[in-house]
Structure 1
C-alpha cells in the first residue's frame, strides 16, 4: 500500500467557510446540506460553533479561536487539498481577525490554484436587525479583501454598509454595486435589492457586471425560517459549477429557495427542514 503522503486528495467541488450550528438552518447548517443535495463534494470550515442560532436566545458555543481557524485553513494547504477545490464560499465570520486571516489565506490559495473561484457573501446584517456581526468586519469588507472574490452576494442592507450610503432606488443600488467591481470581482448580485421589486409581494435582485445590469424578482414567501441567503448562495454556486450562466442560475436558485420555504411554511416549521423540493 502506498503511503498516504504520496497519494493526491480527491477532487472537491466546494469549500464553505461560515457559521456552524448543531441545530438550525443557517450558515454551513444549510449550505452544506444544500450542496450535498446537489451531488457536490463539499468540505466545511466553521467560523463560529453554536448549539443553535442566537435568535433562540443566548446559545452555547462561540467564535472558533483564531489559532484553530487559521490552523484549519493551513491544513488544507499543507495536505494540498486547495489544489483540488473548484470553489470557495465565504459567509458569516466570527470577528475581524478571521477576516484578516482569511484574506491572507485566500491570496495564498489563488497563487496555488489560479483556477479556483471565490464567492463572498459579506454577511453583516439586514434591514430588520441592523448590523449583527463584529462592527469592525464592515471596515474589513470595505478593504481589498472583498476584491479577492470573483462574485459577491450582499443583500441591500449590506451593500449600504459597504457603500456608506442609503439606497432607495435601482439607480443608487446599481451605482453602489458597480463600485465593488475591482480586483478579481467580475459580478455583484444584490439580493433584496432596493428599488427593483415593484410589488409588495415580490423580492428584487440586481446583477451588476462591468458590461451589463439585469434585474430579477421572485415571490415573497411568508416563512419564519432563517438562512435563506446562505441557501441561495449555495444553490447559485451549484448551478454555476454545473456550467449554467448567471442569467439562468439566479432565477433557478430563487425558485428552489421559494419551494423549500413554501414547504417549511406549509408544515409550520421554525427552520428549513426537508430539501425534497431541490432537484
Structure 2
C-alpha cells in the first residue's frame, strides 16, 4: 500500500506527518509525505520557528511526485490540519489527479477544526471550506464528535444522535465516517469511545479515558484507521486495531510523564496491536 500524506511537519514532537508517517511505516505502508509547514514544534507551545509552505510550493512537490510516475500506484491520499485556505485547492487537485491515474484510490480527510473543550482553533474560513468543498470530495473522514456536529449543523450527544449526524455527514459524500472522542452522557464514568459508520453498518468501541491532552493522537488515529480499513475492507477490524494501538500509545505517553507522544517507544503496539477492546456492532 502507498499513501500520499499531505500534512504539517515538526522537528520537535509528533503532529501531522511527524505523527502519521512512522506508525504507517511500522505496519508496512509506503508513505509519500508532503509537508504543508515545516515548524520547529506544534503551535500549542505558543511559539515556534520555521515556515508555512506556500500552496504553490506544496503543489510543486506533488507535481514532482507525479512526474516520477507514482500516481497510478497510490492507494490513499491522506490530509489533516489545513492551516490556510489555499492548501485545500492543492489537496483537491491532487486527489483528482491521483484518482484519474488510479480510479480505486481513496481520499481520507481528517477535518481538523477544534474540540469540545477548546472550540474551533482554525481560521474562520476553514470550517466552511471543509464542509462545502473538502469533505464532499472525501471517501473517508475522521472527525471528532465536536467536528462532526459542526460539519452537519447538529449536536451529537448520545449514540442515536451521533449515528444520525454520521449519516448526515455520509450524505455529503464520504461513505465512511470514523467519529473519534465520542463522549456519550450515558457512558460509564472514565471511558471514551470511537464509532465507525459505513454502508455495511456501524461499530463502537470503548476504552478507559486517559486524562491527558495528546497533540498528534488524532493524526495517528486517522492514519492507522485509514490504512487498516484500506487493507482489510472491514471497518470493525480497522477499528479494533486502531483503538488498541492508539490506546497503548497514549497509555505509554501518560506513564512517561512527557508532553509529547512516545511515538517511537510505542512502535510494537502498531505492528502487533493487542486488540484488547471489544468492538460492538450497533447497526
Q: State the TM-score, normalized to the length of structure 2.
A: 0.88
Question: Structure 2 vs 1, CA of residues 161 and 270 (structure 1 numbering), >3 Å: closer, same or farther?
Answer: same
Whether contact under 8 Å (1:127, 1:157) holds in the other structure is yes
Aligned counterparts of 2:135 and 2:84: Cα–Cα separation in 1: 15
From 150, 155, 158, give the equivalent of 2:144: 155
| 1:93 corresponds to 2:77 | no
From 202, 207, 212, give the equivalent of 1:218: 207
Aligned counterparts of 1:194 and 1:270: Cα–Cα separation in 2: 23
Whether contact under 8 Å (2:183, 2:192) holds in the other structure is no
Q: Mark the runs of 5 or more structure 2 residues left unpaired by the alignment.
A: 272-283
| 1:276 corresponds to 2:257 | no
Question: Structure 2 vs 1, CA of residues 262 and 172 (structure 1 numbering), >3 Å: closer, same or farther?
Answer: same
From 161, 169, 192, give the equivalent of 2:181: 192
Paired position in structure 2 for 1:76: 65
Cα deviation code 1:14-39 (max 9, x no counterpart): 11111111111111111011111112
Paired position in structure 1 for 2:255: 266
From 156, 165, 175, give the equivalent of 2:164: 175
Cα deviation for residue 183 of structure 1 reads 6.7
Paired position in structure 2 for 1:117: 106
| Number of residues of Structure 1 aligned to a counterpart in Structure 2 | 268
Cα deviation for residue 145 of structure 1 reads 2.4
Paired position in structure 1 for 2:278: none
Aligned counterparts of 2:236 and 2:76: Cα–Cα separation in 1: 19
Structure 1: which 4+ aligned runs deviate by more than 4 Å? none
Whether contact under 8 Å (1:150, 1:186) holds in the other structure is yes
| Structure 1 residues 238-277: aligned runs within 5 Å | 238-243=227-232, 245-273=234-262, 274-277=265-268
| 1:135 corresponds to 2:113 | no
Whether contact under 8 Å (2:158, 2:186) holds in the other structure is no
Please state whether the residue corresponding to 1:19 is helix, strand or coil: strand
Cα deviation code 1:74-131 (max 9, x no counterpart): 2222322111111121111121111122223312221221011211111111112221
| 1:208 corresponds to 2:193 | no
| 1:49 corresponds to 2:38 | yes
Q: State the TM-score, normalized to the length of structure 1.
A: 0.89
Aligned counterparts of 1:197 and 1:44: Cα–Cα separation in 2: 40
Please state whether the residue corresponding to 1:80 is helix, strand or coil: coil
Q: Mark the runs of 5 or more structure 1 residues left unpaired by the alignment.
A: 1-11
Paired position in structure 1 for 2:224: 235
